[in-house]
Amino acid sequence: MASSKKNNLYAGHQRGDIQLNLTSSESFKCEPVFALIEETLQKGGNAYVKKIKGIFAMVVSDGPGGKTETWVIDAKNGSGSVQRGSKAKADCTIKIKDKDLLDIARGKLQLQSAYFSGKLKIVGNMSTALKLQQIIPKAPLAKL
């Protein structure tokens, strides 16, 4: 049986030790969230790919200067990956504002609340979208 540490995104991190090192006005606030997802996939990607079997396009709006950027989380092929700016075909597309994604990762905003309030929009396979919760950070990030 797998230990709970393998299922914990923050395994190896103490709560609050993950810093948001935003040195440029061109950085999205949610970039550390994607870095943690990528780290999770690097550590246990094969297991996540077997469980999730999905490709997610995360369209993040209201970034620096009002920019919108897409991150593709591939939890379907190989051992998984995260690519910024990818145009890969996704099983579902999730649209969210930069600040709201960061608030979800910090635990300040619940996924269900974000969805029902219209802060998070899902296009495509809803059952696949729900599986993304398995690799999104679940513990609050350090305060800015």
Per-residue pLDDT tens digits of the chain, which is 144 residues long: 333 333 333 344 333 334 444 444 568 999 988 998 898 888 887 888 999 999 999 999 999 999 999 999 999 999 899 999 988 899 999 999 999 998 888 888 888 899 999 999 999 988 888 888 888 766 545 543
Name the residue among 24, 43, 116, 110 with its Cα closest to residue 82.
Answer: 43
Cβ atoms of 33 and 101 closer than 8 Å: yes
Nearest-10 Cα torsion for 34, 110, 135, 81:
-30
Which position has the token pair 């890969």?
Answer: 88
Q: Decide: helix, strand or coil at residue 64.
A: helix
Q: What is the pTM of this model?
A: 0.76
